[in-house]
Chains A and B, each alone.
Chain A
Amino acid sequence: MESAGVFPNRRIALTMTTFLFWNLMGNSDTTWANREDSLRDHIVHMAVSFGVDVFVFAESRFTPATLVGALNKAKVGRYCYPRSLNARLQIFTRFKKSAIVEQYDSEDGHLTIRRLTTPTTEIILAAVHFQSQMNWTPGDQALQATVVQQNILQTENDVGHQRTILIGDLNMNPFDPGLVGAQALHAVMTRDTARAETRTVAMRNYPLFYNPMWGYFGDRTPGPPGTYYYSASAPVSYFWNMFDQVLLRPALMDTLHDVRILESDGQVSLLTSDGHPRTSEASDHLPLLVELNV
């Protein structure tokens, strides 16, 4: 369990790449002005505490220059914002700007795929922010997940490998049809299951993803019970949801060093006294930290 105290600076492993995804709740335009400064501070703290190499933000209202300036003042690397046609998902990195190259953007900005060259290899970084269940039915979300899968496959075909990481706010839980469906993201809960790489359904092969997020549900494992808390008035309410997820292709899954749902930025807690995301000062989502040995 992470404490909210000062977190010692992490030694940067030369072969470790650290990703951080966070939905900044920018769609709440009435509260953004009140949260902007503290959000920026949280992001800088995370850069210092966790040695983040690649930040991916959804629902950000920051101008890229603002965050680049704030991150570089922390002097833990020279961050940049590689050019992109996609403004809905912001990607910042302390790699060279040429290390992240645009590969695909969806028409609505909800999916962006980049080629990322790390010190040891090239991987495909797909960042996504699915539409909310407020406007989309489960069937709509499942179709959209299928579209994402198709675009990832096309990109993998264009690039020539399947070392793919998909990270973002999927607005679905790991057990929803859009995550588990064979035609959709086809993400399974164990590496052993994913190792088969594909599964045959009705005489067609469908590629698999490994979804480590299954292992973080509930209060029997360290860290928060999910990434998004919502107490619904409907008969069925999960309270804690795992909307923010990372999926890995079998070709990349064995490089996974750690996944953590952050309850602090390394210095300041992101939770209220009830253990829920601190919505008034940060976001209604908790950040997701992923470390790969690449």
Chain B
Amino acid sequence: MSATIPDLWSDDIRVDVLPPLVILRSQADLLASKTKGILESRVLTASEGTQDQHQLDLIAPALHHYRVTLLTARHAKDMVYPVKVRSQAFLPEHKPGALVVSKSGFGPPADQKEAATQDEFIALVREVLHSGYVRSLIQSLIARSYQGESDEDTAEISENGAPSPNPDDHDLGASGKD
């Protein structure tokens, strides 16, 4: 009597696999309607050598079309999975743009995770878009968009760390410098 050989293939094999670029573009298309056009989103792709990198950007048209990248997804040109996803949202104690000092200087960066499959990639993108970092960023940019440019001009740090009370109360001269 012959032994039954089990099915050794992974359970997550599927035939409707989408590349990361398509998944990101679908998310980019949704944001404008969710924010009534106050914010937009776009995917930018760069290619070099054997790698492609896509970035999902948030755009505030009312703030001089200010753009900020929420995440990047990098993969080999001929193999779209695995894909490395980087985002500030992955940092354990998120401080946007702050120095991330690696004690050893080696190993993958703290703001990077890898997805082996479409489902894992979707989970990572969801994690980023649902993060406090991204949600705060979206709300802040919407609020600033309502404020408009005139209030943008008051945004500076003065000597004591507080917003400057009357930033234009000095004579700048013809050069625009103090």
Give residues in A with beta carbon < 8 Å to B. 12, 14, 26-27, 29, 53, 59, 61, 63-65, 68-69, 72, 77-83, 85-89, 94-99, 101-109, 115, 117-119, 132, 134-135, 139, 142-143, 145-147, 149-151, 154-155, 158, 181, 183-184
Chain B: residues with CB nearer than 8 A to chain A? 44-51, 53, 55, 63-72, 74, 86-88, 95-99, 101-102, 105-106, 109, 111, 137, 152-161, 164, 167-168, 170, 172, 174-178
Q: Are B69 and A27 in contact (CB under 8 A)?
A: no
In the bound complex, what is the Cα–Cα distance between A248 and B5 (angstroms)? 65
Q: How many A-B residue pairs have CB under 8 A?
A: 162
**Docked CA distance A145–B86 (Å):** 16
User: Beyond the given A69-B159, A78-B170, A107-B69, could you list 5 further A-B residue pairs with CB under 8 A, ordered by the A residue number?
Assistant: A65-B160, A83-B156, A96-B167, A105-B68, A149-B46
A154 contacts B44, C-beta separation under 8 Å: yes
Cβ B49 vs Cβ A65 within 8 A: no
The answer, among B99, B105, B154, for a CB contact under 8 Å with A135, is B105
* A146-B86 contact, Cβ under 8 Å, with A97-B153, A104-B67: no
Give, as a whole number of angstroms, the nearest-CB distance from B25 to chain A: 16
Question: Which of B49, B66, B106, B176 interacts with A139 by CB under 8 Å?
Answer: B49
Q: List 14 A-B contacts (CB under 8 A).
A: A65-B160, A69-B160, A72-B159, A78-B170, A80-B158, A97-B167, A101-B64, A106-B55, A107-B111, A108-B86, A118-B176, A143-B53, A146-B47, A147-B72
Cα–Cα distance between A106 and B58 once the two chains are bound (Å): 11
| Contact partners of A155 in chain B: CB under 8 A | 67
CB pair B49 A107 closer than 8 Å? no
Contact partner of B155 (CB less than 8 A), chosen from A27, A61, A82, A145, is A82
> Which residues from chain A contact B111 at a C-beta distance below 8 Å?
107-108
How near does chain A come to B106, taking the closest CB pair, in angstroms? 7
- Asked whether A105 lies within 8 Å of B177 as measured between CB atoms, the reply is no
A65 and B157: CB pair below 8 A?
yes
Nearest CB in chain A to that of B59: its residue? A158
- Check B105–A150 contact: CB distance below 8 A: no
| Chain A residue nearest in CB terms to B163 | A83
- The reply to whether B48 and A181 contact each other, CB–CB distance below 8 Å, is yes
The 3 closest A-B pairs by CB, nearest first: A83-B155, A109-B97, A65-B161
B12 to chain A, nearest CB (A): 28
Q: Using known A-B contacts A134-B105, A135-B106, A143-B53, determine if residue A107 contacts B88 with beta carbons closer than 8 Å.
A: yes
Closest Cβ–Cβ distance, residue A152 to chain B (whole Å): 11
The reply to whether A80 and B68 form a contact with Cβ atoms under 8 Å apart is no
